[in-house]
Copies of this chain bind each other. A is one copy, B any other.
Amino acid sequence: MTTKSKIEEGLGFEPQFGADGLITAVVTDAKSGDVLMVAHMNAEAVAKTIASGEAWYYSRSRKTLWKKGESSGHVQRVVELRVDCDQDALWLKVEQAGEGACHTGRRSCFYRTVPLGQSGAVTLEFRNADKTFDPDTVYGGMAGKRDR
């Protein structure tokens, strides 16, 4: 079995971390199927997520491991964790505690749509962009610092 076929067809979990030591994690809402966020994990975040069944990530901006919800209470219970063909991406189906996953105060980070069929400068449109919680209250003025 070649390395490639072992990774693609085998049952050994061998996450392929990038040169930065990270792997991409896509997080969807187990109920609605919506993509809540895209984050990154290092080996320790992967191990803690598997062991605990709750989502841990690595913050590229703060250069530190963090547990989702550690400051907001918006913990993510992992319903299922999957790995893709070449084992360089993870998919977490989660039960999102609290009102949302996004540090801006929305349920999902994907609250703007890109209109199709055009070229040149693109103007976004809001979708499901109502804030479901007040990030200043929830994060105590630390929005975008501690819990992302």
Contacts and interface: CB of A to CB of B under 8 A. Distances in A.
Interface of A: 4, 8-13, 24, 26, 28, 32-35, 37-38, 47, 49-51, 53, 78, 80-86, 89-91, 102-104, 106, 109-119, 121-127, 144
A83 B53 contact: no
B82 A112 contact: yes
Given A35-B91, A83-B112, A50 B11 contact: no
B53 A89 contact: no
Contacts of A34: 33
Contact of A117 (B32, B51, B82, B123): B51
Nearest to A48: B119
Contacts of A127: 82
List of 6 A-B pairs having minimum Cβ-Cβ separation, nearest first: A33-B33, A13-B122, A38-B89, A82-B110, A84-B109, A81-B114
B83 A110 contact: yes
Contacts of A109: 84-86, 89
